[in-house]
Structure 1
């Protein structure tokens, strides 16, 4: 460990010195996007700008199909009010194949970043607002207990079949309410502990009814919860795999022929969409996304433009501009980076790393690309979590529960050194809390106990009675050496390098930390079984998602990344039937969040959210390091309309707010 630390820090120091002669600008706080980024219809565009969209245009690729009678004219393929997208730089040109590489077809990758997502509503480019998409408008009534959604009329699936309220009703009645497809009902749609009801008012109007006010519903729909297979299905296609519409004997026979045991596994195979990797998307499966799967194999996938895509630009050109997206599979991350710097990839973002920034910059001209620095939406790239419900060692658990211990750990971390060594000074020392663009942000939440003060850290540990033994390490109340096993899974952010430094800082105040790197599977298994003494993750949910999933600060999630309160979360999620009842302070966090979910006043919601964050500033339920870090994005020189500055991460669903359908190759 010490040798790898020395080598790692030496390399980073060399790179930092090299960067001294490189022009770097990273002062952005908001994306460089046009405002507004879209208009709800051509009529709205004309009303706002005085410019009329007189006619619709289409890709030459599709014009040929129209000429041969294989497609109807573009006017008949578009909805009555297509969504008008404002290009980031200029009206684009049709054509080209975008080449990207991914490490698998079973997860989020570069393809998703170019294909984009399509929700009923979507996250705006400011990453805080909700704007129209498939739904043209919506309204709450009955004190927030009823949400009525008005769909855009005339949208068609990629096979030309109309999209209607029946496609949403199929999701609810035939998927969510089917116990084999959905044995555990979604908490998202069960506010107050009771499942909502979904009604079809007419072909283009859906009404969701809740037992209590649910202002978060529209926020959920603006993220992944509002996309295909999460909120709507192509009923005309999906019903072929459902026993309500197709004899179950026939389905089970086909399931067995394809190697499955049950019909619902067959349903899963044929009803994926491009939002979790292309492996679960069948060729020709209907979609509302800009691209549809045309070819695929074990190590490649080809997506082609959706001829019925329902968005246009300000000149009346049907989007997308790009004809095809070609995905190649490369399992080695370093090889993926090589593909990018040698010019074989037109776009790369998911596997790029800041530590390779100088390598990317040095090869820009030769590789015919440019390097953009977007800002990650993680509140902290690495957030450490003491397991406050650890049962296998109650002495250690009680030490963790003493807030003085957590404060000491935080004060012992030299965040400025981490920032300089690992981020070239471009990140921000901070606790895990929302990013500055969030209405929930306050400086005090970010700055709590982040000053490097090992003297004060030692004083706090002394006050706890944790005396040092002969070897310099501190002793527990039972006389044993205080030693902590920190297990973590290396992914996305520089967790390994950060932990090498943090291990040294904590060693200096007499705390022995044994570090063990585990697989993702083991991280999940041990975290959910409450077996981890300490772990870490990157603190996402610090932007748009903070009010929806505040699990770094509220015991409301029991999953692989949340290790500070597994048993308290179990208690909450089971209604007190499992886990361990939280102490008063933690219960109060749950109550604050539940009140946030019900209040219709945004001002009151923000006040309640800040109470939660104030608690973390005082208690350090999780301990942040640095955040707001830059993220390198590699873009082919002539791939245009890609914003120069943007946010990047799960909170934004990667490129979702930036309309990748308007990216184009400039000739």
Structure 2
């Protein structure tokens, strides 16, 4: 039996010593921001607000500087819905990744995992929601019994991470501070799903949410609440008021370091410190150090301009490598510092032939391994790297980065050598030997071999890269055209098979470990533009889309299933390597350049922001694993 343990507190690891508790009580280390609340009796003193065993972040051990309270961080977002970045940045999770991408308890005091099938979670005694109400096992029971098992609120039967084999687990509330989830077979996706940027939700503030639930609220009051919140069904009311991933409801109790105080619509959202946040530094100072985050809504197209004009204290979203020179120049005019972090995607730009393309001739060609290899070999990645990335990226297939323990050079090198002669040979071998007067190859039905690559039009970088690829493919008798459409239309066109090929990012997680799901390498999601219909088939459990009918894609699905059925690390590692080899040898996505750089702008006074870091959505939650609650202003 494989048993994993992750403990903090009285089980294994650091606990809040009596002397530290006394120090917290004796010293006046309350944030100035909360003084009025304390005087008014709205909140108790810090020693009563903290859990009995808070999570202690040892700053010096982590290479950070203990900080001081105060200050406001300004940041810019592209639309009101982007307040979700605060949930991602705050990175308060039951369990979360550390900087080495190992899972550790965070909100939880500790956990045990037996064969990745039986998970027992231990809560922190005295932990409270942001409104001061106790956070207990009952919040897990509410979500389980009244949300997940409620067929109106959860008509699909629950998230796939909760039912990997078709059935939900058995839930038990062992005592007020202990819950257990039991599957009959391993569920290795469970813990990574809880640690993700948009985590699997398995608990909620039942004391607050019951007022929006028909089981607990009378019909008259429920109707009034529905009218007040402009929804027609009680289900929509509960969903709207309980959504933590996009914190639009300022009344929703939270466990995050900062909580929203602004109801939409608004042009500015103000997040303030959570008085009951569960982390402290080694000196007993409660985190976060920073009092407020202000998110100013702007047009996505001018975020970089505004950040470079001194209107942001911390900016990573909405800026790209193409903005680096401009942002770096801002250091001369404003007290800001611009660092470069490494993007963790398998490829910053990738070409994705749609294997579900509705055009019969093109679909047959795209499903030919030799054709995909020819397309890849015909691209001069060195030129793209020099022109678009100033030589700072790495030519690579769409695969994991050297920062991943799963990296092998053979995966990165698969069919990336610039070899137009070999590309021509493969295309000839496929029977595409006839050419027109402009030297463009002809398809079997007589049409010119014209590939339209579609883009969501969100990056000038895509356009620059496609200009270069157009010239490369012209050398092997293929014509490239581009089409731009908005993201929603772009996605719909892909699903309907009207997109032949797209330019997008490569795999999301280029720093994966064997304990993270390899689902990104198999058809599992409808936004995988190389096989959206196969992805939808998996996502809908066979209710929509079409089943994969290409042997290699079927093999990837089978391997993924095998990974999900084992609790042995060595087996998972072997499966990852099989999938990475198959994915790169088959060139299901044509990766171009990875290890590209992401500008991160910060106020020169903002401390503990790493000069170098890994930047991406999953698993690093953008800035999340670097704990923005530990950032502080030198002159707050």
TM-score by length of 2: 0.91
- Structure 1 residues 89 and 39: CA distance shift in structure 2, 3 A: farther
| Contact 1:200/1:206 (<8 A) preserved | yes
In 1, distance between residues paired with 2:221 and 2:18?
58
Secondary structure class of the residue paired with 1:287: coil
Which position in structure 2 is the counterpart of 1:221?
194
Deviation at 1:438, TM superposition (A): 1.9
What secondary structure sits across from 1:135 in the alignment? Answer: coil
Q: What are the superposed Cα offsets for residues 544-591 of structure 1, whole Å, 9 maximum, x if unpaired?
A: 48875545531122x23x122233334445555651442332211111
Q: Show the counterpart of 1:657.
A: 625
Shift in CA distance, 49/239, structure 1 to aligned 2, threshold 3 Å: closer
Higher mean displacement: 614-623 or 573-582? 573-582
Cα deviation per residue 1:494-541 (whole Å; 9 max; x = unaligned)?
A: 323222222222222111222111101102212223332112321213
Question: Could you say which residue in structure 2 is the equivalent of 1:86?
Answer: 58
Q: 1:367 to 1:287 in 2, by over 3 A?
A: same
Deviation track 1:152-176 (CA, whole Å, cap 9, x = no partner) reads 2221001100101111222222222
Corresponding residue for 1:396?
362
Change (3 A) 1:419 1:238: same
**2:325 and 2:533 mapped to 1: Cα distance?**
44
Alignment pair present for 1:124 and 2:92: no
Partner residue of 1:263? 234
Residues 107 and 161 of structure 1: CA distance in aligned 2, closer, same or farther (over 3 Å): same
> Quick check: 1:625 aligned with 2:592?
yes
1:460, 1:290 → 2: CA distance?
56
CA contact (8 A) 1:541 1:549 kept: no
**Displacement after TM superposition at 1:283 (Å):** 2.3
Partner of 1:380: 347
Work out whether 1:243 is the aligned partner of 2:214.
Answer: yes
Q: Which residue of 2 aligns with 1:554?
A: 522
Report how many aligned residue pairs link the two structures: 617
Corresponding position of 1:233: 204
* Match for residue 636 of structure 1 among 582, 603, 611: 603
After superposing the two structures, state which structure 1 stretch, 298-307 or 179-188, moved more.
179-188
Matches within 5 A, 1:479-558: 479-491=446-458, 494-539=461-506, 540-544=508-512, 550-557=518-525
Indicate which of 103, 109, 113 corresponds to 1:140.
113
Q: Could you say if the C-alpha distance between residues 304 and 47 of structure 1 is closer, same or farther in structure 2, counting changes exceeding 3 Å? A: closer
For 1:43 and 1:320, the matched residues in 2 are separated by 25
Partner residue in 2 for 1:26: none
For residues 254 and 293 of structure 1, the distance between their equivalents in structure 2, rounded to whole angstroms, comes to: 21
* Cα distance in structure 1, aligned partners of 2:19 and 2:393: 43
Q: Of the candidates 376, 399, 410, which is equivalent to residue 433 of structure 1?
A: 399
Structure 2 Cα separation of the partners of residues 524 and 63 of structure 1: 50
- 8 Å CA contact 1:191, 1:211 repeated in 2: no
**Distance in 2 separating the partners of 1:236 and 1:434:** 44
Provide the rounded CA distance (Å) in 2 between the counterparts of 1:553 and 1:112.
27
Shift of 1:405: 0.7
Note closer, same or farther for the CA distance 1:294–1:570 as it changes in structure 2 (3 Å cut).
closer
Tell me if structure 1 keeps the 8 A contact 2:51–2:127. Answer: yes
Contact 1:251 1:263 in 2 (8 A): yes
CA distance in 2, matches of 1:348, 1:231: 31
Correspondent of 1:294 among 254, 257, 261: 261
Distance change (3 Å), C-alpha of 1:486 and 1:492: closer
Q: Per the alignment, in what secondary structure is the counterpart of residue 494 of structure 1?
A: helix
What is the CA distance between 1:330 and its match in structure 2?
1.1
In 2, distance between residues paired with 1:209 and 1:47?
28
Distance 2:363 2:590 in 1: 16
1:418 aligns with 2:384: yes
Residue 292 (structure 2) pairs with residue 319 (structure 1)? no
- Note closer, same or farther for the CA distance 1:581–1:409 as it changes in structure 2 (3 Å cut): closer
Residues 157 and 308 in structure 1, CA contact (< 8 A), matched pair in contact too: yes
Q: Residue 535 of structure 2 is aligned with which of 558, 565, 569?
A: 569
Where structure 1 has 5 or more consecutive residues not aligned to the other structure, the ranges are: 1-37
The 8 Å contact of residues 86 and 314 in structure 1, kept in 2 or not, is answered as yes
Q: Which moved more, 1:65-74 or 1:157-166?
A: 65-74
The alignment partner of 1:326 has SS state of strand
> 2:10 & 2:463 partners in 1: Cα distance?
51
Over 3 Å counting, the alpha-carbon distance change for 1:470 and 1:434 in structure 2 is same
**Would the alpha carbon gap of residues 475 and 448 (structure 1) be closer, same or farther in structure 2, given more than 3 Å must change?**
same
Please state how far the C-alpha of 1:86 moved relative to its aligned partner.
Answer: 2.9
What SS does the corresponding residue of 1:457 show, helix, strand or coil? helix
8 Å Cα contact 2:406-2:513 kept in structure 1: no
- When normalised by structure 1's length, the TM-score is 0.87
Check whether the contact 1:552–1:621 (CA below 8 A) recurs between aligned residues.
Answer: no
RMSD of aligned Cα (Å): 2.5
> Could you say which residue in structure 1 is the equivalent of 2:274?
306
Counterpart in the other structure of 1:35: none
Q: How far 1:328 moved relative to its partner?
A: 1.3
Deviation at 1:359, TM superposition (A): 1.2
**Within the alignment, does 1:186 sit opposite 2:152 as a pair?**
no
Are 2:305 and 1:331 equivalent residues in the alignment? no
